[in-house]
Structures are given as C-alpha cells and as structure tokens.
Amino acid sequence: MFLKIRKHLICVTAFVFLTLLCVICTMTFTQEKQMSFATEMEVGNFRVYDGSGVFHNGYDDIGAAWTAAKRLSFDKSSEVTVKMFADAEVADTLNIDNRNYNIALDLNGHKLSISESGKYVIESIGTFTLSDSNPTATNSITSYARGSSPETVEISGGVITGANAYAAVYISSGYFNMHGGNIAGNVINSVNGAAVKPGATFNMTGGTITENVNTAGGIGGLHAQWTKFNVSGAVKIDGNTSCTNIDDSERAESNYGYDYNSSIVINGALNDG
C-alpha cells in the first residue's frame, strides 16, 4: 500500500514538474518572440504595413519597399502602406503600374526626391494615397518658383521634391488621395505639365502644393485633365509660378488649371491650410 501511494506521489510530482516546465518554456518562447518582433519592427528605414496596419517587413531601400508593397497589395487586394523613417533620393520613378495596386505613402516628416532629370517621382495608374504622420518636421527644399536664382525654402512636414520633368506626381488613371504632405520645389518643363498632373479622380483633404515652377509657360501647381477634383479640409495650393525660361527673372502666379471635362467638387468647409 505504501509503495502504491509513493508511486502515485512520484507520478503527480513528475506531472506537476513537467507542466510547470512547459509553462516556463512557453512563456520564454513568447517573450523571445515578442522581443524578436519588437527588434524586427525597428529594422529598416522604409517599412511596409498591410491594410490592417500590421507590420510586414522593413527595408533599407525605398525601391525594394515599394516593390514589396505592390506585391502585398496584389496578394491581399487591399491598401498597403510604405512608411518612411529616413529621407530618400531615387533615380527611377516609383511606379504604381497596375490598376489593382493600392499603395499609400506616409512621408512621416521626410523628404522624397529624384536625382534623374525627365522622370516623375511618382507615377500611378492604380490608387495612390499620400499622407504625413509627422507634419511638424522641417525640411529644406530648393525652389525656382521665386526667381531665376534657386532659393532654399523651409517646409513643414514631409515633401516630394526635386523633379525636373513633365510632373512630379503623375496620375494617368485611378485615384490620387492626398491627405497630407507637401509637393514642392519641383521644376516642370512642359506647357501641359504641372507639379501634380491627375488624369483621374483626385481627392484632396490635406497637404500643400507649393513652390513649384513651370518653365514652359504652363501650370506650376495642379493641372487637371479629365479629372474629378474633390477637395475639402485644410488644403493649400499656393506659391506656384510660371515662366517661359528658367533664367527669366519674372514669375507669374500659376497655381491651378483644368480642361478636358474636369470638374471641382467642394465637400464641406475649406479650412486655412
């Protein structure tokens, strides 16, 4: 009888010990996984998040992040966000080259520029959304909008800048949703171009288009063709100019132009941008 009780106690003790061991191992694994996830979250200057805001991966090159975002957007059929944690200069246009792609760019207070003349910074035929989760950051841009000599201008918030092309942001179809950020300090070299050239639906609820110049006598700021322009909230399209040669000392104000069956719809009150 005593031996049976002893064996029973040994079995119970072993069971309790193994149970505690399993609990400890599970807790340790969970903590390590959480630490690993937290560390992973901090890696990469350009981070990709799915439509639910769940971190997908981080990259040191915005081009790689952009490619991954397009692939994820196609796979999940939802919006995917690329969030910047550093400034970036690209040599090639960041394209949204499929109507099913839905890509959002959060400037997060940073500067996105392009080094190659004749190329857009952003070109899209799908859905492109621009926002800025750090609008109080300060960036310096080079502006030719005020005269033939370049001027350094301080901009609050993230900015798309540096294009010397037909447009800085060119939307040939689909949707462009601008909720924040700046499109500024771009030189437009076509009479039919502008810093923002939407040929699709343009929803602007925030952000600024400023300090852009068209050196071919066209629109410096926003030129809408075949576009429905929905605007509301704190927006600003101001400080854009036009001339016929970049060396001209005179600049004419040139913020907005539209043609080819474009329309403007004002939704609610417009606030000071």
| Cα separation, 168 vs 186, whole angstroms | 7
| Cα separation, 266 vs 187, whole angstroms | 28
What pLDDT is attached to residue 268? 67
What pLDDT is attached to residue 5? 46
Write down the pTM of the prediction: 0.84
How, if at all, do strands 46-49 and 80-84 pair? antiparallel
Four-point Cα dihedral 136, 139, 142, 145, nearest 10 = 0
What pLDDT is attached to residue 270? 61
Structure tokens at 167: 């447009």
Nearest partner of 81 among 100, 99, 68, judged by Cα: 68
- 116 Rama class: left (phi>0) / alpha (psi -120 to 50) / beta: beta
| Cα separation, 265 vs 78, whole angstroms | 26
| Cα separation, 228 vs 150, whole angstroms | 34
What pLDDT is attached to residue 265? 87
Residue-wise pLDDT for 3-34, tens only, equals 444 444 444 454 544 555 544 545 444 444 44
Nearest partner of 184 among 141, 150, 146, judged by Cα: 141
Taking a C-beta distance cutoff of 8 angstroms, is the pair 255, 228 a contact? no
- Phi, psi for 39 (deg, rounded to 5): -65, -40
- The pLDDT tens digits along the chain (273 residues) read 444 444 444 444 545 445 555 445 454 444 444 444 444 455 899 999 999 999 999 999 999 999 999 999 999 999 999 999 999 999 999 999 999 999 999 999 999 999 999 999 999 999 999 999 999 999 999 999 999 999 999 999 999 999 999 999 999 999 999 999 999 999 999 999 999 999 899 999 999 999 999 999 999 999 998 899 999 999 999 999 999 999 998 999 999 998 867 888 888 666 655
Spell out the residues 6+ positions from residue 60 whose beta carbon is closer than 8 angstroms to its own.
44, 45, 46
Q: What is the edge-to-edge ordering of all strands in the sheet holding 213-214?
A: 164-165, 187-188, 213-214, 241-242, 252-253
What pLDDT is attached to residue 2? 43
